[in-house]
Chains A and B, each alone.
Chain A
Amino acid sequence: MCHITQRSSTSSFPKIYSIFWRFHHTSTSHWCSCSKTISDEKYQDPFQLGKKDLKNLYEDIKKELLVSAAELKEMCDYYFDGKGKAFRPMIVVLMARACNIHYNNSKEVQASQRSVAIIAEMIHTASLVHDDVIDDANSRRGKRTLNQIWGERKAVLAGDFILSAASVALARIGNTTIISVLTQVIEDLVRGEFLQLGSKENENERFAHYLEKTFKKTASLIANSCKAVSILGCPDPKVHEIAYQYGKNVGIAFQLIDDVLDFTSCADHLGKPTAADLKLGLATGPVLFACRQFPEMNAMIMRRFSKPGDVERARKYVLQSDGVQQTTYLAQRYCHAATREIRKLRPSPEREALVHLTEMVLMRDK
């Protein structure tokens, strides 16, 4: 369990929080002041509980990728090597089970719900492949990136192919509502990438911009795939909203921690280079918080850390500041929100696993 120091948070938080809560949580009533994250109920290891549903996940994905050209096939299969965390499919199948139990105590995952898990992982991977080309990245998950091995031209095509296969699988579910929900993800991913290109002058706008980007690039996929399986499992729109809100909050927390790890983890452990965001000119949560303590960072943010030495200096400032703690604290609050949402469902081991999963999001170190 990680302990977050909240010493200095009270002074700086209210203002900036009011901004993003307005942005992201228009309907949220109030926050409980306790930061208790462990309840007395017995926790299930989410990865054990969802394991049998995800058995052969990668084999099934590879079956969706029907290509005749051997090299293109190899490229498409490259990241489905079973070494990924399969974090998204895990959330999706657990959510499916939790919703099914909530609705009619059904203990089965429907084939269509499992397809959503597969499609979510495929859309995610397709976007990684394109992101790596856009960012000119060299390594991911401890492997060389597709663009490093095969060049940008083919890498982009492989990404396009994975996306098209995902959309064929999506169409085969045969439900137009599900198609609309998951198509929203594709649109959000692209718009998120465009948001990442711009930077905002105003500090508050910058934070809202960062959270909006985080939602579109990371949380939308989790939120909408959770929503999709809830629609398939249960007709109650209230449940769909619970699933969506859970996915959205966990997704944002997940990305916030990702942004923290970019500063605190070492490259070997993470499987990709650290301070990668700074090198790309991106100011993530820890930087934005640090900037409140060290206003001299403003200029660096605006020039996207382009001057020699900017990246190192910014990194130093971040580590000196409480940017990392504050970002982690923020992630914690999103996780609380996720937990509160999911607890509205009828109790089940899967529901508790989803609660536990929010903690794993906070504690992960890679």
Chain B
Amino acid sequence: MRGLVVLLISKAAGPSTADLSFQHDMVSGIYSSQRSLAEITELIHTAFLVHRGIVNIGELKSCDGPLKDMQFGNKMAVLSGDFLLANACTSLAQLQNTKVVELISSAIGDLVQGIYYENSKSSEENCLTDDIGISRWKEQVFLSHSALLAKSCQAAMELAKHSAEIQDMAFQYGKHMSMSHKLHSDLQPFVRESSSDTIAFSLNSAPAILHQEFRGREAWLKQIREAQGKGNIVDYKKLQEAIKAGKGVTSAIDLCRCHGNRALAALERFPPSEARDALANIVYAVTRFP
């Protein structure tokens, strides 16, 4: 998706008005440098999918399989993630644009910090949920899910020498579209009609965080304790019902639509085109609920 969005927004912004010298480089409305940028964005995203898969050797139990295999798996994960990142760096250098290098490098830093927050949550044993409000949640999700796309969209504009204003609009589109995309996927366990089986959800997903804000931390922790049966196994079905009964789900939907609208507003600054329509359709798709 990320690569596609970078290509679409490049096409929507059209040729550079500032510099006519490199227009021969354009194929079907997209500069070759923007095409490379789309690849770089995908490479970085994939590298971190791989690095997310690394396990802590010290925490493994004997049922997890032979230690040697896990060590080898870690080794391969570190190496292949690094390999993808190194390739991304090489392609980035070839773009010959220091501002783009800076933007994308800082996006890598953002992504690392975002993943770091995800990790530190899952490692805290005694605490199932974080004591964070929705604004803190938004900051963290921006780092882990939006920064790369937002900055890649901005960089795509920089490569075509578009104005600072267009660069900012591209950034805003990338940011808000991916925020509403994340909210949309967080909401799925709560809005799906066929509720024969409970879809697993995270206690740090948007509806749960909003639910906690409405009910207060103490009341929410009490609900969690009540849902905890023998051996501390949480009855997610029960918690899901508790969240559904409150205002968490509807306000998460509102938030999703709010980000969607901001993404659409950013698109207004681009001239009408098929590419722009496609970008708008992505927003409609991630803000639609049954």
Residues of A within 8 A of B (CB): 66-69, 71-72, 130, 133-134, 136, 151-154, 156-157, 160-161, 163-165, 167-168, 170-176, 179-180, 183-184, 186-187, 189-191, 193-194, 197
Contact = CB atoms under 8 A, between A and B. Distances in A.
Contacts of A134: 74-75, 78-79
A152 B70 CA distance: 12
B271 interface: no
B229 interface: no
A307 to B, nearest CB: 15
12 contacts: A69-B116, A69-B117, A152-B74, A165-B105, A171-B99, A171-B101, A172-B102, A175-B98, A176-B93, A176-B98, A179-B98, A183-B89
Interface in B78-97: 78-79, 81-83, 85-87, 89-90, 92-94, 96-97
Interface stretch (B49-57, B167-175, B177-185, B204-212): B49-57
Q: Which 5 A-B pairs have the closest CB atoms?
A: A171-B102, A151-B56, A167-B105, A171-B101, A164-B108
Contacts of A71: 120
Given A156-B51, A160-B51, A161-B112, A168 B106 contact: yes
B165 interface: no
B120 to A, nearest CB: 7
B58 to A, nearest CB: 6
Given A153-B119, A183-B93, A167 B101 contact: yes
Contacts, number: 121
A304 to B, nearest CB: 13
B113 interface: yes
Given A71-B120, A168-B102, A187-B87, 18 more contacts: A68-B113, A136-B71, A152-B56, A156-B51, A157-B51, A157-B119, A163-B108, A165-B109, A167-B105, A168-B109, A170-B101, A171-B101, A174-B98, A176-B96, A189-B86, A190-B83, A190-B86, A194-B83
Interface string B23-58: 000000000000000000000000010010011111
A160 B89 contact: no
B92 A183 contact: yes
B69 interface: no
A62 to B, nearest CB: 15
Contacts of A184: 90
A172 B82 CA distance: 23
Given A69-B113, A193-B79, A168 B105 contact: yes
Nearest to B105: A167
B59 interface: yes
Interface residues of B, number: 42
Nearest to B99: A171
Chain A interface mostly: helix
Interface of B: 48, 51, 54-59, 71, 74-75, 78-79, 81-83, 85-87, 89-90, 92-94, 96-99, 101-102, 105-106, 108-109, 112-113, 115-117, 119-120, 123
B54 A160 contact: no
A160 B90 contact: no
A186 B98 contact: no
A277 to B, nearest CB: 16
Nearest to A65: B109
A153 B98 contact: no
A186 B59 CA distance: 31
A130 B78 contact: yes
A160 B94 contact: no
Contacts of B59: 151
Contacts of A163: 85, 108
A156 B79 contact: no
Nearest to A174: B98
A93 B94 CA distance: 27
A190 B74 CA distance: 15
B83 A167 contact: no
Contacts of B120: 69, 71, 154
Contacts of A189: 82, 86
Nearest to A196: B79
A157 B115 contact: yes
Contacts of A156: 51, 54, 78, 81
Contacts of B74: 133-134, 152
A252 to B, nearest CB: 21
A174 B100 CA distance: 11
Contacts of B113: 67-69, 72, 161
Nearest to A181: B93
A69 B105 CA distance: 18
Nearest to A165: B109
B79 A194 contact: yes
A66 B110 CA distance: 10
A187 B109 contact: no
B109 A161 contact: yes
Contacts of A172: 98, 102
Contact of B54 (A136, A153, A161): A153
B82 A190 contact: yes
Nearest to A68: B113
A217 to B, nearest CB: 13
Nearest to A76: B112
Contacts of B112: 157, 160-161, 164
A187 B59 CA distance: 32
A191 B90 CA distance: 13
B109 A179 contact: no
Given A164-B106, A171-B98, A153 B86 contact: no
Contact of B119 (A154, A174, A179, A183): A154
A119 to B, nearest CB: 11
Nearest to A197: B79
Given A72-B113, A157-B119, A187 B82 contact: no
A286 B55 CA distance: 34
B63 to A, nearest CB: 19
Contacts of A151: 56-59, 123
A154 B109 CA distance: 14
Nearest to B87: A187
